Amino acid sequence: MATMEQSRSEYTYGLTEDQLAIREHVREVTRRYIEPRAAEIDERAEFPQDIRELLAEKDIFALPFREEHGGTGTGTTALLIAIEEMAKACGTSALMLAVQELGALPIKLAGTEAQQQQYLPRLASGEWLAAYGLTEPESGSDSASMRTTARLEGDEWVLNGSKRFITNGGVADVYVIFAKTDPDAGHRGISAFIVEATAPGFSVGKLEHKMGIRGSTTAELHFDDCRVPADAILGEPGSGFPLAMQVLDRSRPGIAAQALGHAQGALDYAGRYLLQREQFGKPLARQQGLQFMLADMQVKCTAGRELLYKVGWMIDTGAPREELTSYSAMAKLFCSDMAMEVTTDAVQLLGGYGYVSEYPVERLMRDTKITQIYEGTNQVQRIVISRLLLAELERSLEA
Ligand SMILES: Cc1cc2nc3c(=O)[nH]c(=O)nc-3n(C[C@H](O)[C@H](O)[C@H](O)COP(=O)(O)OP(=O)(O)OC[C@H]3O[C@@H](n4cnc5c(N)ncnc54)[C@H](O)[C@@H]3O)c2cc1C
C-alpha cells in the first residue's frame, strides 16, 4: 500500500513568509504525527487526546489568537492554511483547530477585556478547549427558533434547555451557549453566554455515532437550572443572534478549509496511486480518460483555494460586512460541494481499493460529507448568497 505523503503541489504566490512557514510547520507535524494516527482515530471513534496535546505543544492552537492573548498573531489566512494541511490527512484533527476558533470567536468579537483575558490565553495554549452551542433538537437551520432560555436571578443567569450536535461536547472546558433571554422577542431575544464545563446544572448527554470525523465528539448538552455568573453574558442581552451570524461569517471559511484539505489530500493520493497501478500493461496514469478526471479535480481544488484564501485575506484586511458574509458563504458552499465531488472521484480512481478502509480516500470522502451540513447547510448558504445578491440587484433597480 502506498503511503499517504503530503501534497507536493505547491502554492506559494501571494502568500507571506509567515504563512509559508506556518504551512511548512503544520505540514511537517501532520506528516510525522497526524497522518500515521488518522485511520486509527477513525476506526476507534475516540477523541484523540494525543492530537489535542500535540496541537498545544506545537503551538497550532495559538494560530487563531492575537499575540496579546498568547497567540501567534498571524491572522486568518494562516489559520485556514493550517486547517487545510491537517485535513489532507485527518478530518478529526483539522476540526479540532477549526472548532477552537469557532468557540473562541464570540469571545474575541464580543467579550469584555476581562472575559478575553480570562479565556483566550487558555485557549491559545491549548490548556482549554472551546465549543459553540447554537443548534437544538428542534432548531437547526432555523436557529432563531431555539427554546433554551436564560433568566437573571440575583447575580446569576439560570439556563434551561438543551443543545444537540455540539462539537467538542464532553471534551471542551468552555462553551459559548446561545439562549433566549426574552422568549417573545424572536431572534432579538437571543443572548450568548460563556458556560464553563464545571457550571452547576450543566451536563453532557449522548454522544453521536457518525459517518465521518469520527474522533470528534458530537454531543447533546443539557442545562437544568444551570447557573453562571451575571458577567458570563457576552455583549448586551438580545445581541446574541447578530453575534452568532458574525461568528459564522468568520468560521465558515474554516469548514471550507477542511473540505479543501480533504479534496486535495484525496486527489494527491489518487494521482500517486494511478502512477503506480498498472492495468492493460501500463500505469493507469497513462489513460487519458483518467488524466482528464485528475485535471478536473485539480481545477476544482485550485478554484476552491482561490476563493478560500480570498476570504482569509478579506478577514485579515477588514472587508465590509456584507461582502464578507457573501464570500464566506460562497467559499463554504463551493469548497464543500467540490470536495464531495473530488473525494468521490478519488474513490472511483482507486477502483475497489478506493472502497476499502485500507486506503485513506474512502475516509476522506466520509469526512467531507459533514462539510456540506454543519455551520449552515449548503441550502442555507444558497439562501444567504441569493438574499444578498437580490438585495443588491433591487437597490440597483431603485437607483
Ligand atoms: C457532526 C456535527 C457537528 C456539529 N457541530 C455543531 C456545533 O459545534 N455547534 C452547533 O451549534 N451545531 C453543530 N451542528 C449542527 C449543524 O449545524 C446542524 O445540523 C445544521 O445546521 C442543520 O440543522 P438540522 O440538522 O437541524 O437540519 P434541518 O434544519 O432540520 O434541515 C434538514 C434539511 O432541510 C434543509 N432546509 C432547512 N431549511 C431550509 C430552507 N429554508 N430552504 C431549503 N432547505 C432547507 C436543510 O438544508 C437540510 O437539508 C453539528 C452537526 C453535526 C452533524
- The C-alpha angle 75, 78, 81, rounded to 5 degrees, equals 150
- Of all residues in the chain, what percent are helix, strand and coil, respectively (each to 5)? 60, 15, 25
* Residue 374 in contact with ligand 1 by CB distance below 6 A: yes
* Residue 132 in contact with ligand 1 by CB distance below 6 A: yes
314-357 tens-digit pLDDT? 999 999 999 999 999 999 999 999 999 999 999 999 999 999 99
146-166 tens-digit pLDDT? 999 999 999 999 999 999 999
pLDDT of residue 6: 46
pLDDT of residue 11: 66
Q: Return the CATH class of domain 17-125.
A: mainly alpha
Indicate which atom in ligand 1 lies nearest the CA of residue 102.
8
Q: Which CATH architecture has domain 130-238?
A: Beta Barrel (2.40)
Is the pLDDT at 274 greater than 60? The verdict is yes
- The C-alpha angle 281, 282, 283, rounded to 5 degrees, equals 140
Catalytically active residues are: 375
- Three-state secondary structure call for residue 371: helix
Is the pLDDT at 29 greater than 50? The verdict is yes
Dist. CA 343–CA 361, nearest whole Å: 7
222-265 tens-digit pLDDT? 999 999 999 999 999 999 999 999 999 999 999 999 999 999 99
- Residue found under cell 443567569: 157
pLDDT of residue 83: 98
pLDDT of residue 399: 85
At position 163, the amino acid (one-letter code) is: K
The residues spanned by each domain of the chain are 17-125, 130-238, 241-398
Exposure of 326 in the CB half-sphere (CA atoms within 13 A): 12
As a whole number, the mean pLDDT across the chain is 96
* Residue 218 in contact with ligand 1 by CB distance below 6 A: yes
pLDDT of residue 8: 47
Task: Report which protein residue has its CA nearest ligand 1's atom 37.
Answer: 141
Task: Report which protein residue has its CA nearest ligand 1's atom 7.
Answer: 166
Task: Report which protein residue has its CA nearest ligand 1's atom 4.
Answer: 165
**Alpha-helical regions (H) of the chain:** 17-29, 35-44, 49-57, 75-87, 91-110, 113-125, 240-276, 288-317, 321-349, 361-369, 378-398
Indicate which atom in ligand 1 lies nearest the CA of residue 178.
11
Average pLDDT score over residue span 1-25: 73
Average pLDDT score over residue span 128-138: 98
pLDDT of residue 12: 74
The percentage of residues in the chain with a pLDDT greater than 70, rounded to a whole number, is 97
* Residue 134 in contact with ligand 1 by CB distance below 6 A: yes
- Helices 361-369 and 240-276: crossing angle, nearest 10°? 160
pLDDT band at 2 (very low <50, low <70, confident <90, very high): very low
pLDDT of residue 162: 98
Task: Report which protein residue has its CA nearest ligand 1's atom 17.
Answer: 374
Backbone angles phi, psi at 203, to 5 degrees: -145, 160
Most informative mutation of 95, 373, 383, 385 for ligand 1 (most atoms within 8 A of CB): 373
pLDDT of residue 13: 78
Most informative mutation of 374, 382, 386 for ligand 1 (most atoms within 8 A of CB): 374
Which residue, 344, 349, 353, is CA-closest to 294? 349
The beta-strand segments (E) located in the chain are 130-133, 149-153, 156-167, 174-180, 190-196, 202-207, 218-229, 233-234, 278-279, 282-283
pLDDT of residue 351: 98
Average pLDDT score over residue span 208-234: 98
Task: Report which protein residue has its CA nearest ligand 1's atom 1.
Answer: 218
- Which option is the CATH number for 241-398: 3.30.70.920, 3.20.20.70, 1.20.140.10, 3.20.20.10? 1.20.140.10
For 37, other C-beta atoms within 10 Å of its C-beta total 19
pLDDT band at 206 (very low <50, low <70, confident <90, very high): very high
pLDDT of residue 9: 52
